Amino acid sequence: MNYKLVIFATLVSGAVAADHCVINHDTKCGTAGHLDRLNVASLDACKAKCSSTANCGFYSYRSTDKLCVTCMAEGNKQGFPGFTFYPLDPAKCPVEEVTAVGATTAGGVPLCDAPVHANMKCAWKHVDRLHRLVNQSVEQCQKACADDPACEFYSYKFKGSGGKHEKVCMGCGAGTANSMQHHHNFHLYSKGCVGKPPPMPQTKTWNGDLCARGTGDPHFMTFDGKKYDCQGDGDFILSRSLDSGFELQGRFGKVRRRPRVATHQGAVIKTGINGEPKVEIAYTKECAISYRIEDTLVDLDNNGGNTGTNMVAFFASGNTRTIEYDSGFSLKVQLRSWSGDCYLNVYLCLPETVADQRFVGILGTPDGNKNNDFTDRQGVSTGLAIRASKKEAHEHCVKTWCTHPSENLFNEPTASQQCNVVIPYDDDLETKVAEIATTNPEWFSLCDGDEECLMDALAADDIDQGVRTLIDGEADPEPPGIDEIEPATVPQEERPPGTPPPPPTEPAPTSSTPANERSGPIDETFTTKSPPGAMGDPHFKTHGGEMYDFHGNAQEEGILLNGAALVTETTTSDEWHFSKFAGRVLRYKSVSANHRIRREAHLHLGNGEKIMFKTFADFVKVEFMNESDDTLKGSLGLLGTYPDGQRVGRDGATIMEDVNMFGQEWQVKPDEPKLFHSYTADWVVPAGQACAMPVDSIEKSQLRKRRLANGLVEEEVEKACAHLQDPSDHKACVFDVIATQDPAMAGAW
């Protein structure tokens, strides 16, 4: 039975219809049905869904929330309490629109006709302080309120954006205190009835659709995907609606050590909607961050994110800050540094309610046509987006969008707001970028030929800065959950010169066993509670928690499920005699071992399940978080069967004890789909052959002992891996540090 179907089935009422159409209020289904809460607009459409679904004999529909379930209606599996099913045979059941007014839920609780209040101000308290009700159902939320004497009303809605959504249950007692800083506009229902479930929100990303960004020095990508640079010095119009009061302005400033380079130093946004305040974020070159709400300084990082209004919410996590308006406008900034100066990356998302408005500014107009993104202030296209050179795009930007005194939104406008300071376009830099494939092929390769990456690397004379720009440009950062409020920090690896580092922390206690006696290789297997995945040299954790090593030199299938696969590439180092788990998944970028930048990206699969990718040097770590039957049931591969993690072959039955044979079993075959963007000869194994294996474990163990004897002392190794509490993780980390003779390798963990 599909679990999500059962969860939502508790919400559906017994529909009112003719008796001869009703099969059973508690129909037993032999197969999982189909659930659609978004696109089924009528009972007729629900019936059509059933008609087009193999083995579907019955269907159920409730018009109040457009919920459709189809069912085979034969078998002995769990039923659907409260469902009223209709047979597909049209002669037995005429198609009629049905409502749920006056009906009751499966638990006998009546359905609410309407919210008690759409935006009541009251003393909020979490019914579920441990978030056990998050991502459950409105009926469970109602029950939690009914069981709590202090709760008189409850509310249930979606929160979040950027692809991350939670269904949040809130309880409310009687009162007038307004403490709804992050929970505004919840629709309240009486504890005595079950309210309507919230509509499923559309997934919103921070790159594409109605979103745009400015990163690095700064590089812009418009709503429609047009990329260009604008090296200004002053306050600029990033986006403005000609049909409403919305506007976003950005502050650019020269980098002190690079006078021909500018970066973002601040942003100010106003939506033009009554009750929604103007918010300003400023980040000085000395890394001091400040916030203003309607020109009043507010210490959002240290006051719990209290904006003083229920119309705008503030989130903070690490080096990311997010402003979310009740109307749907979202502004996100990331704290970064360049050549000792701190700066911001800026991301803007518009709500779909304004999609038909006319927008102008540096970020263009969101109409799906990048060729009209360069306009004048009245919104008339200049045609430059089609034919303009990089220099012409830069000059159009600084001359058109620098703010005038009467329109500047910043509390303290910059001295150069009158547009009398223009940073000349660097023709020499553009020439160097064009020639870098020949003059510096290593940098060209690390940047994947990306012009923004190469430009920033050359301007800063630092490939790390270029790679950081590449990652920021392709990242899809997400806001944290509703309770994640953290103080502002400058990430240690990007801490500007002169800024004191945080006080050192004491290493966690570790076993007294000498490092040279327990530092791998992982020739035996271990059981671990940490998430399954692959990392390091590479070490693999199965779904059942078993940890083992496989050091083949080929593509491997980490997960194979119904024709879909997550494929990894492993390479063997002749010097270290161990493999590196390396690869590119989605748009995630790995970085050379000479440039120690660690980055992290999440692929959200829904309901809290995600795949996490981390890079350090040229190592990639992949972990599956919050696994579920919906995604992984029936999967095979290097992570074993789900959920027990048995190492079985491609036939799905043969258990393979030898890890080398098991690894070679799952090398990608020549006739299987190729998922990677590019390949080397070593990764393509001819049909009938096995991938190359490194030296045996005895020689490898001897090499490890020689390296420990001649290189790092065991105290260095222990200190590097002291942060790992899981014994198998610690053992694998110690081996990686010894094998590479590099304590920084512990950063891969």
Residue 400 pLDDT = 92
Q: What is the pLDDT of residues 175-229, one digit of tens each?
A: 444 433 334 446 778 888 887 776 655 444 444 457 888 887 788 888 888 888 8
Is the model more confident about 286 or about 517?
Answer: 286
**638 vs 241, 467, 657, 676, CA distance in Å?**
52, 31, 13, 18
Element (H, E) at 456: helix 451-460
Using CA atoms in the order 680, 684, 686, 689, what is the torsion angle rounded to 10 degrees? 110
Residue 480 pLDDT = 36
What whole-number distance in Å separates Cα of residue 740 and Cα of residue 743?
Answer: 8
Residue 729 pLDDT = 75
Strand partners, 553: 692
**Residue 261 backbone class (left: φ over 0; alpha: ψ -120 to 50; beta: rest):** beta
Q: What is the pLDDT of residues 501-515, one digit of tens each?
A: 344 333 333 333 333
Q: What is the pLDDT of residues 124-173, one digit of tens each?
A: 444 444 445 555 677 777 887 787 777 777 877 765 543 445 566 777 76
**pTM of the complete model:** 0.45
Residue 591 burial (10 A CB sphere; 0-12, 13-18, 19+): buried
Q: Are 697 and 522 in contact (CB under 8 A)?
A: no
What whole-number distance in Å separates Cα of residue 341 and Cα of residue 318?
Answer: 18
Strand partners, 311: none
Q: What is the pLDDT of residues 610-666, one digit of tens each?
A: 777 776 655 677 877 777 777 777 788 888 888 778 888 888 888 888 878 888 888
Is the predicted pLDDT of residue 295 greater than 70, yes or no? yes
DSSP label at residue 503: P
Tell me, what amino acid is at 727? P
What whole-number distance in Å separates Cα of residue 735 and Cα of residue 516?
Answer: 9
What whole-number distance in Å separates Cα of residue 662 and Cα of residue 660?
Answer: 5
Q: Are 60 and 68 in contact (CB under 8 A)?
A: yes
Q: How far is CA 35 from the centre of its chain?
A: 25
Residue 217 pLDDT = 76
Residue 408 pLDDT = 92
Q: Are 409 and 249 in contact (CB under 8 A)?
A: yes
Residue owning tokens 């005429």? 94
What whole-number distance in Å separates Cα of residue 696 and Cα of residue 679?
Answer: 26
The ranges of the chain annotated as CATH 3.50.4 are 3-87
Lowest average pLDDT, out of 473-482, 537-546, 642-651, 735-744, goes to: 473-482
Residue 246 pLDDT = 96
Half-sphere exposure of 650 (CA within 13 A, CB side): 11
Query: According to DSSP H, which parts of 43-166 are helical?
Result: 43-51, 138-146
What whole-number distance in Å separates Cα of residue 666 and Cα of residue 569?
Answer: 12
Lowest average pLDDT, out of 17-26, 638-647, 668-677, goes to: 17-26
* Nearest Cα to Cα of residue 516 among 727, 699, 705, 720: 705
Residue 714 pLDDT = 67
The ranges of the chain annotated as CATH 3.40.1000.10 are 211-430
Residue 549 pLDDT = 72
3-state secondary structure 250-313: EEEEEECCEEEEEEEEEEEEECCCCCCCCEEEEECCCCCEEEEECCEECCCCCCCCCCCCCCEE
Nearest 5°: the CA angle 108, 35, 74 is 80
For 3-87, the fitting CATH number among 1.10.3470, 3.30.70, 3.50.4, 3.30.420 is: 3.50.4
Is the predicted pLDDT of residue 107 greater than 60, yes or no? no
- Looking at residues 8-17, what average pLDDT do you find? 29
What whole-number distance in Å separates Cα of residue 642 and Cα of residue 335?
Answer: 40
Mean predicted lDDT score pLDDT of the chain: 66
Q: What is the pLDDT of residues 318-367, one digit of tens each?
A: 778 889 898 889 999 988 876 677 888 899 988 878 888 899 999 998 88
Residues 688-720, buried b or exposed e (16+ Cβ, 10 A)?
eeebebbeebeebeebbeebbeeebebeebbeb
Q: For the domain 211-430, what is the CATH code?
A: 3.40.1000.10
**3-state class of 227 per DSSP?**
strand
Q: What is the pLDDT of residues 585-608, one digit of tens each?
A: 333 333 333 334 445 666 666 666
Is the predicted pLDDT of residue 248 greater than 90, yes or no? yes
Is the model more confident about 71 or about 637?
Answer: 637
DSSP label at residue 506: P
**330 vs 53, 162, 346, CA distance in Å?**
39, 9, 11
